[in-house]
């Protein structure tokens, strides 16, 4: 695909981007470079590479559930903007 000034201007217009003349020249060079790199990647033989959904092979990194002591109620209430004797008071979410 030939990337020229007209195509770059068209892409910029579709994207809602205004480019000055100097920026248009630079963007045309940048697009040529990116498309050229994509052509290089397309030429690679990846037939023997298995498809994958993630870069790293991680399964599940959740911890086991374990009963642990909670934060003392007084420590939680000390940071609350509004509170009663035992609870944090929050604004109503339903009328």
Q: What would the pLDDT profile of 70-80 be if each residue is shown by its tens digit?
A: 999 888 888 88
Transcribe 29-40 into DSSP letters.
Answer: HHHHHHHHHHHH
Domains and their CATH numbers in the chain: 5-42 (1.10.20)
Q: Return the axis-axis angle of helices 21-42 and 5-15, rounded to nearest 10°.
A: 100
In the block, tokens 């994958």 appear at: 52
Q: What would the pLDDT profile of 19-53 be if each residue is shown by its tens digit?
A: 999 999 999 999 999 999 998 999 999 999 888 87
Which pair of structure tokens corresponds to residue 91? 């604004």
CA–CA distance, 26 with 60 (Å, rounded to integer):
45
Name the pLDDT band for 18 (thresholds 50, 70, 90): very high
Print burial letters for 22-40: b (CB count within 10 Å at least 16), e (below 16). Answer: eebeebbeebeeeeeeeee
């Amino acid at each position: 695909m030939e990337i020229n000034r007209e195509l770059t201007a068209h892409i910029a217009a579709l994207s809602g981007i205004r480019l000055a003349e100097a920026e248009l020249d630079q963007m045309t060079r940048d697009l040529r470079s990116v498309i050229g790199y994509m052509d290089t990647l397309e030429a690679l033989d990846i037939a023997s590479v298995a498809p994958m959904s993630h870069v790293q092979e991680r399964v599940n990194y959740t911890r086991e559930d374990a009963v642990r002591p909670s934060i003392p109620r007084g420590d939680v209430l000390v940071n609350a903007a509004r509170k009663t004797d035992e609870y944090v008071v929050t604004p109503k979410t339903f009328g």
